């Protein structure tokens, strides 16, 4: 039985006992309803005031019964309150232990700094894709919401080295700073880069000047949600079919198609072959739409004669099953 139902029962018991006592005294002693109600309250509260009138033997027996009923009701109320306190504290304790265990087990995970509108949306995307992550925020309401959403979380200051260390930054694969304050974002990037030089850092910028500072601080990529939103709205108006296609391959999981990047690890069977001979298209049904060579920019629509080398990153489109097989083949 949940707490709300128990509280309703407590209120109902209190009302029934008061009505029982008031009506009982009124009938047995022939008192007015006000006197009977007053006598009921001083009896149940045990304040020790003298009786309104001298009680008859029947009235005394009724008073004993009323006290027993009142004590039983009080015992139930105290037990319910006690259970609520103990269960609440126990849940908090178990929740903290579970959280600490989860944080210790995290590896190759992502750290999301800031759980406002942007940060929470990022966290939901990671959660949906079953990618390990932890969110950090100093706001209690946001943390409570993160807990309801089922996210691993830390309530603390993202700019503090200790908070980032608690989030397992040394073992993390990437960090996303989604805080609206650019100064805090720069500080987070500086701290994160110092604690883990290999970390891939994506930062949120509100202005062009902020973007420059974040890049200088060590961010790998800087995103402006407002700029991206504006471009998306313009393209939706000008090129609606193109936007629909991008939505299908990036966000719509119901279609089965996904756009993904696959890194070619050294020693995998694909190294040394060309796109024409490798089994990517024939066996896995996957289309290679772009390749990023080491130290170079991505080039789109690669030729079938393009050689695959260790360290290449393939930009591919395909179904989940085929992508998983390709990841196994490439050592992903």
CATH code for the domain in which residue 279 is found: 3.30.70.1450
CA dihedral 252, 260, 130, 102 (to 10 degrees): -150
pLDDT, tens digit (0-9, with 9 covering 90-100), for 174-183: 999 999 999 9
The C-alpha atoms of residue 3 and residue 226 are separated, in whole angstroms, by 44
The C-alpha atoms of residue 213 and residue 217 are separated, in whole angstroms, by 6
Given a cut of 60, is residue 103 above it in pLDDT? yes
The pair of structure tokens assigned to 202 is 């994506």
Closest CA to 288 of 268, 252, 312: 312
In the beta sheet, which residues pair with residue 107? none
In a domain, residue 247? The reply is no
Domain boundary among 85, 101, 117: 101
pLDDT, tens digit (0-9, with 9 covering 90-100), for 265-282: 888 888 888 888 888 888
Whether 194 and 219 share a structural domain: yes
Range of the structural domain that residue 163 is part of: 107-229
In a domain, residue 235? The reply is no
According to the model, what pLDDT value does residue 151 have?
A: 92
Contact present, 111 and 176 (Cβ < 8 Å): yes
pLDDT, tens digit (0-9, with 9 covering 90-100), for 210-252: 999 999 999 999 999 988 889 889 988 998 888 787 777 666 5
pLDDT, tens digit (0-9, with 9 covering 90-100), for 169-202: 999 999 999 999 999 999 999 999 999 999 999 9
* Band of pLDDT at residue 70, cut at 50, 70 and 90: confident
The C-alpha atoms of residue 156 and residue 40 are separated, in whole angstroms, by 52
Whether 179 and 86 share a structural domain: no
In a domain, residue 177? The reply is yes
Given a cut of 70, is residue 92 above it in pLDDT? no
According to the model, what pLDDT value does residue 89 have?
A: 56
Bigger pLDDT: 94 vs 206: 206
Q: What is the mean pLDDT of the chain?
A: 86
Contact present, 316 and 287 (Cβ < 8 Å): yes
Domain boundary among 48, 66, 101: 101
In a domain, residue 274? The reply is yes
According to the model, what pLDDT value does residue 255 have?
A: 59
Q: How many domains does the chain have?
A: 3
Average pLDDT over residues 161-168: 94
Whether 162 and 223 share a structural domain: yes
In a domain, residue 243? The reply is no
In a domain, residue 140? The reply is yes
Burial class (CB in 10 A: 0-12, 13-18, 19+), 148: exposed
DSSP 274: B
Percent of the chain at pLDDT above 90? 33
Which residues are within 8 A (CB) of 131 and not within 5 positions of it... i.e. 6 or more apart? Answer: 109, 110
The C-alpha atoms of residue 124 and residue 310 are separated, in whole angstroms, by 33
Whether 130 and 178 share a structural domain: yes
Domain boundary among 181, 212, 229: 229
According to the model, what pLDDT value does residue 256 have?
A: 67
Whether 55 and 16 share a structural domain: yes
Determine how many CB atoms are found less than 10 A away from the CB of residue 226.
12
Average pLDDT over residues 326-330: 83
Whether 161 and 260 share a structural domain: no
Average pLDDT over residues 253-259: 69
In a domain, residue 241? The reply is no
Determine how many CB atoms are found less than 10 A away from the CB of residue 105.
12
Q: C-alpha angle with apex 80: 78 to 85, nearest 5 degrees?
A: 95
According to the model, what pLDDT value does residue 153 have?
A: 92
């Amino acid at each position: 039985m949940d707490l709300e139902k128990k509280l309703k029962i407590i209120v109902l018991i209190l009302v029934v006992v008061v009505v029982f006592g008031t009506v009982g005294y009124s009938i047995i002693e022939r008192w007015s309803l006000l006197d009977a109600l007053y006598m009921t309250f001083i009896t149940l509260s045990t304040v020790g005031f003298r009786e309104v009138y001298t009680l008859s033997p029947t009235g005394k027996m009724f008073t004993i019964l009323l006290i027993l009923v009142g004590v039983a009701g009080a015992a139930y109320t105290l037990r319910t309150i006690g259970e609520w306190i103990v269960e609440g504290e126990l849940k908090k304790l178990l929740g903290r232990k579970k959280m600490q265990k989860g944080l210790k087990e995290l590896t190759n995970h992502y750290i999301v700094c800031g759980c406002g509108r942007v940060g929470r949306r990022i966290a939901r995307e990671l959660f949906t894709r079953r990618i390990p992550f932890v969110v950090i925020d100093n706001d209690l309401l946001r943390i409570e919401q993160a807990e309801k959403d089922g996210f691993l979380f830390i309530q603390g200051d993202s700019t503090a080295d200790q908070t980032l260390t608690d989030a397992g930054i040394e073992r993390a694969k990437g960090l996303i700073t989604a805080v609206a304050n650019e100064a805090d974002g720069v500080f987070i990037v500086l701290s994160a880069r110092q604690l883990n030089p290999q970390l891939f850092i994506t930062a949120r910028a509100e202005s062009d000047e902020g973007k420059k500072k974040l890049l200088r601080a060590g961010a790998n990529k800087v995103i402006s949600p407002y700029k991206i939103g504006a471009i998306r709205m313009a393209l939706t108006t000008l090129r609606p079919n193109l936007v629909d296609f991008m939505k299908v391959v990036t966000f719509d999981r119901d279609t089965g198609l996904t756009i993904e990047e696959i890194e070619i690890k050294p020693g995998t069977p694909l190294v040394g072959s060309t796109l024409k001979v490798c089994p990517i298209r024939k066996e896995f049904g996957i289309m290679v739409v772009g390749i990023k060579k080491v130290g170079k920019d991505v080039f789109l629509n690669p030729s079938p004669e393009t050689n695959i080398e260790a360290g290449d990153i393939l930009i591919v489109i395909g179904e989940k099953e085929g992508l998983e097989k390709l990841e196994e083949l490439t050592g992903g």
